Amino acid sequence: MIVEENKEMEKVEIYSKRVKAGKRTYFFDVKATRGNDYYLTITESKKRYKDDGYSYEKHKIFLYKEDFKKFIEALQETVDHVKEDLMPGVDFSKFDQEEVESNAPDGSSEELKWDI
């Protein structure tokens, strides 16, 4: 169908990071429209077992450039609240050892950083 082909052509993937977390995998993908406007998709993928085998349940968030700063600030504030107010006795540094897998063109693997 022509409409769907045009829709897919608008969503060119520029960069991707994959984060494995137990039964879940998170994908951080930068995509571009034909007009070179960039946006971020964050996808949570969960492997589920069904009678006929495995399937993947996916949830996706589209994040546009004008919302990056607000999103990052809210995420950081929420994480800080959990760490400092709700779970002050937990040593979160023990979770810092896992690597983030990259699908970057150079094949590099680096930690995600939320710089505002």
Residues 6+ apart with CB under 8 A from 12: 31, 32, 33, 34
What is the tens place of the pLDDT at every residue in 43-63? 999 988 887 888 889 999 999
Catalogue all structural domains in the chain, each as residue range(s) with its CATH number. Answer: 2-102 (3.10.450.700)
Helix (H, G, I), strand (E, B) or coil at 105: coil
**What would the mean pLDDT of 79-106 be, rounded to a whole number?**
78
What are the φ and ψ backbone dihedral angles of 76, each rounded to 5 degrees?
-65, -40
* Alpha-carbon separation of residue 51 from 23, 55, 92, 98 (angstroms): 18, 10, 37, 32
In the numeric block, which tokens belong to residue 27? 């994908």
Does residue 70 register a pLDDT over 80? yes
